[in-house]
Structure 1
Amino acid sequence: MNVWEQVYNPLSNIWLSAIIAAIPILFFIVMLTVFKLKGYIAGLYSIIVAGIVAVFIYKMPIILVLMSAVYGALAGIWPVASIVFAAIYLYKITEKTGKFAIIENSISSITADQRLQALIVAFSFGAFLEGAAGFGAPVAITAAILVGLGFSPIYAASLCLISNIAGGAYGAMGIPVTVPSLLTGLDALVVGRYTALVIPILSIVVAFLLIFIIDGLKGIRQTFPAVLVSGVSFAITQAMVLTFLGAELADIFAAIVSLVALALFLQVWKPKEIFRVNKVKTVDRQVKYSFGKIAYAWMPFVFLTLCVTLFNLPFFKNLFIPGGPLEKLVLLLPIPGLNNTVIKHAPIVPQDTPYAAVFKLDLFSSTTTAIILTIIFASILFRCSSKLLLDTTKETAKELLSPVLTICSVLAFAYICTYSGMSSTLGLAFASTGAVFPLFSPVLGWLGVFLTGSVVNSGSLFAPLQSVTASQIGIAPETMVAVNVMGGTMAKMISPQSIAVAAAAVGIAGKESELFKVTIKYSIGLLVIIGIISWLIF
């Protein structure tokens, strides 16, 4: 088997090489924002540009470029696009059966003020879903709910993307912290404690930021006590869990405490003015549903929560790992011509290491499967007809064709950047900054998430480099691995994958550029704050 060795400094000047490596990323952003191309068109052009840079600058064989793109497209289909499809399908069932109207009414019964409804759905419930499932499901589900409550699609999607900051660092049972810790041989509890110095405080900021985006300073003045209760209860719980238990349950506990605290507080306090984002759409609050009817309507989401929580528990995951009793139910498909044919070098890895490229089709243990089981459960529970299910399938497939193409094209170009070594070039350039490296360290995590759409994948890509560089400049490696997690979390709201998921969830496929323009300023602003904090305290 012929192998190809990655080259991280093809132009013999790390910063010049980094400028070239950044061309595909910058090209994608320009195509999306300046030329306002549809996401999948911008993604397709970016694949071509990334391929040209990989072949002519990095001397990557064309076959490896093509297979990297194929691998990325497959990863876009499963699990990302499949999660979005299943989540939107579930939402449509609740809507078509009339149960979403009851869900909407139950949220309104806590508060009729839609600023606070956004806090309940996007901030708290979104963090809960992030902690239990992650991988796009929280944004897809909460954005769809906000649209149902009357928020405009762009509004709903951007609010959910921005609120994901609060829980994004600890999604899917804390794996953004535990995976890079495992890769670098560090204590995950220590890494989590360092993130606890910053993320919980930012969670409070995010809570107020959501209200500011919806209704400006007036909204903050009118809802200040409630937002403070929600944000502070979330932050304190998150910090305590990270300090004493670890990252695995940080989001779930924080979200539950925040939801309960806000709901109880709103029983004794209400804002002077009830705010509605859509003055035309009103909710009939004369209807008083019984607890049984409300519980019946919410049952699919309760079932979903139980499923994704179960699927992410260690004992369940261990059933499907190599050597586990159900390992044969997970299909591991090596990508021909790519798997283990690319060799990574130090300092990206401690020693020369073949780069695996294995497509994992976990049909019985993924978040997608949990949502599909919930769809089956809801179909039986709500006595859905075969015609309703078939019509919903056709409708969802038609709506999601463009978003799926966007997701696949984005991941195809991102995988080319990763397997060619372009991503590592960018990382090494920032690592060369020496004593001021902590200032730039979060940018590595940010770039990793922008390219891969996942804080976990960003950690897998850059955590070893962060750890090595930290040791070289005389600071604890756990600090920079934690900063990688924090910086990456700030990029979730602008990752092309996340943008495509959010756009698909609210039915604005093709308008990804509008969503990107809303979130990019907040992402960069918060990244700068993380960098300054990292520089000052580490």
Structure 2
Amino acid sequence: MGSDWHAISAVMPIAVILVLMILRGWPASQAALVGLAIALPLAIFVFGFGVGEEGIAMRFTGVVLEAGTTTATILWIIFPALCIFELLRRHDAFDTIKQALGRITDDPRLLALLVAWFFALFLEGAAGFGTPVALAAPLLVSLGFPPVRAVTIVLIGHATGVSFGAIGTPVFAQVSITNLPPLVLAAQTALLHVVLCIVLVGAVYWLAVPGGRRNGALRARVWPLPAAVLCFIVPFYGLAAFVGPELPTLLGALIGGVLFSGLLALVRLSHPIAEKATVVVEGHGWLELSRSLLPYGILILLILFTRLVEPVRVLAGSVVWSWHLGDQFSGQVLPLSHPGTLLFLSFVVGGIVLGERGNGLVRCASLALRRLMSVVLALLGMLALARLMVHAGMVDALAMLVAEAAGPSWPVFAPMIGVLGTFVTGSATASNILFTDFQAETAGILGLPLLMMVAAQCFGAAIGNMVCPHNVIAGAATVGLEGKEGDVLRRTTLVGVVYGLAGGGLVWLLVAGL
């Protein structure tokens, strides 16, 4: 009976968060605080949190400090990423990108691949946190797509890159929890997407044109589908396996988009889908497009320089800020090699090159900071809950419950935990924060490989982005679809379930083969 009560008590905080967010529509910040308020007395009176010499006050202080450290490291990525976004919006960069796309093709399926696959993935890698849907869906509407279809295919198309969104934030959150090597975890997570992302690209390609317009000519033109997949996944996996979590989505989408655009220009498809294939070749056009992508170009160079040049990599990693409290609580930050530092340098240098003075940069930063405030409490609350549950032994109790129920078949269901976390919290990063410890403990109890199960969590958290109500509502709002979010969610849910189950099957096969 004691173990049953422990398991029930461990489930309660997460169950309350699910109910408040799914059934009551509460924001993640408020739901996390309620979950924390419930978890603390359970941790003290049921799990004995605070028993011993350290006492409750010291141990709770340790939990808050760990949560605060991780929150700060994540916010230092989000803030400069949003600064760059505001800088580019100030310089009408996204209008320039839209004009460039219009010169490449007018085939709706190819436009869907360019915008909902490559462009949305690029935005996900650069900024994340809802930016792809907010920018790519209105762009598709301006190119002639109906609003429901525009939001749907962007939500589906950008999901592959969410695992490495905002310069690798979801992976770095897991690294801070598990201490797994970032390069190894990035490669394993990328592998799952590489094998299965044809499902998402196929859905984007198929949904781009209404059924009644899929005539014989359209059905016969299948080469763009595998071409779009290969143009992205080759650099995507190479960057994940040999560089790290920061660039797979951002640079993979940029390289892939350029390659795919070049293929379209070479093929020059003919009537009835009038293919203009006149990629921006004029010097002025290339110059404007290059200016629009300048801060990201600087960022790519900085990341490659600090990761691949050995003396620079060693120097960047030599500065460590760390703290310890007792024997159980600690935290550390590498400020020089942190992605947020490189992002901020890219923002400042890019802004100066674009002609911004101090006031312009401060204006962009203030707008970014305003958007950031709504994220702070949600991150801190979720992280505090996660660290409390770990140190109190509540995650151990949850893992034991799942291990007994699922047994060896757990790998099949592991990605769906990630999906659930993102569905509830609205963020793949928050999902990883909430459930990575749980996946790790379950793996330990069942004797499963830790790396594989943590990668399954990150994979599932990315899928959750396409069915997350927060993203659906935000995307619908950008194209004037308030009240019709259900139409979008019905379409994305089917694709998300298929992709999630396929991911679980792949994880099971890989675990069985180890």
If the length of structure 2 is used for normalisation, what is the TM-score? 0.71
Q: 1-side partners of 2:148 and 2:301: how far apart?
A: 28
Name the CA shift for 1:112/1:397 in 2 (closer, same or farther; >3 Å). Answer: farther
Q: 2-side partners of 1:298 and 1:314: how far apart?
A: 24
Q: Could you say which residue in structure 1 is the equivalent of 2:294?
A: 299
Deviations 1:355-408 (A, max 9, x none): x431x3443321111121112112211212443333333333333322333233
Q: CA deviation at 1:263?
A: 1.1
Q: 1-side partners of 2:444 and 2:493: how far apart?
A: 28
Q: Could you say which residue in structure 2 is the equivalent of 1:108?
A: 102
Matched, 1:357 2:357: no
Q: 2-side partners of 1:261 and 1:374: how far apart?
A: 25
Residue pairs, 1:99-498, within 5 angstroms: 99-112=93-106, 116-117=110-111, 119-120=113-114, 123-124=117-118, 137-139=127-129, 142-143=132-133, 145-146=135-136, 149=139, 159=154, 163-166=158-161, 168=163, 172=168, 196=191, 198-211=192-205, 224-235=222-233, 255=253, 258-267=256-265, 268-269=267-268, 289-313=284-308, 315=310, 316-321=312-317, 324=318, 327=319, 330-334=320-324, 336=325, 340-341=327-328, 356-358=329-331, 360-432=332-404, 433-442=406-415, 453=430, 462-463=439-440, 466=443, 469-470=446-447, 481-494=451-464
Q: Could you say which residue in structure 2 is the equivalent of 1:351?
A: none
Contact 1:102 1:294 in 2 (8 A): yes
Q: CA deviation at 1:215?
A: 5.5
Deviations 1:421-472 (A, max 9, x none): 32333233333344434434545766788796376996676457536734xx
Q: 1-side partners of 2:23 and 2:431: how far apart?
A: 25
Instruction: Compute the RMSD of aligned alpha carbons.
Output: 5.0
Q: Could you say which residue in structure 2 is the equivalent of 1:81?
A: 75
Structure 1 residue ranges without an equivalent (≥5):
1-9, 276-284, 342-355, 471-476
Q: 2-side partners of 1:457 and 1:75: how far apart?
A: 13
- The count of aligned residue pairs is 471
Matched, 1:96 2:90: yes
Q: CA deviation at 1:118?
A: 5.4
Q: CA deviation at 1:36?
A: 1.1
Q: 2-side partners of 1:423 and 1:444: how far apart?
A: 14
AA of the residue aligned to 1:229:
A
Name the CA shift for 1:202/1:482 in 2 (closer, same or farther; >3 Å). Answer: same
Name the CA shift for 1:407/1:219 in 2 (closer, same or farther; >3 Å). Answer: farther
Q: CA deviation at 1:188?
A: 5.0
Q: Could you say which residue in structure 1 is the equivalent of 2:144?
A: none
Bigger proportion of residues as helix = 2
Deviations 1:57-87 (A, max 9, x none): 22212433454245324422x2222322222
Q: Could you say which residue in structure 1 is the equivalent of 2:30?
A: 41
SS in 2 for 1:310: helix
Q: CA deviation at 1:40?
A: 1.8
Deviates more, 1:141-150 or 1:397-406: 141-150
Q: CA deviation at 1:115?
A: 5.7
Q: 1-side partners of 2:290 and 2:116: how far apart?
A: 20
Name the CA shift for 1:269/1:407 in 2 (closer, same or farther; >3 Å). Answer: farther
If the length of structure 1 is used for normalisation, what is the TM-score? 0.68
Q: CA deviation at 1:411?
A: 2.4
Q: CA deviation at 1:303?
A: 0.9
Percent identical pairs in the alignment equals: 18
Q: CA deviation at 1:148?
A: 6.6
Deviates more, 1:371-380 or 1:120-129: 120-129
Deviations 1:231-270 (A, max 9, x none): 244446767898x979878768864663244212322255
Residue pairs, 1:491-510, within 5 angstroms: 491-494=461-464
AA of the residue aligned to 2:356:
C
Structure 2 residue ranges without an equivalent (≥5):
51-55, 142-146
Contact 1:107 1:117 in 2 (8 A): yes
Matched, 1:20 2:18: no
In structure 2, which of residues 43, 63, 73 is the aligned counterpart of residue 54 of structure 1? 43
Name the CA shift for 1:529/1:57 in 2 (closer, same or farther; >3 Å). Answer: farther
AA of the residue aligned to 2:461:
A
Contact 1:118 1:146 in 2 (8 A): no
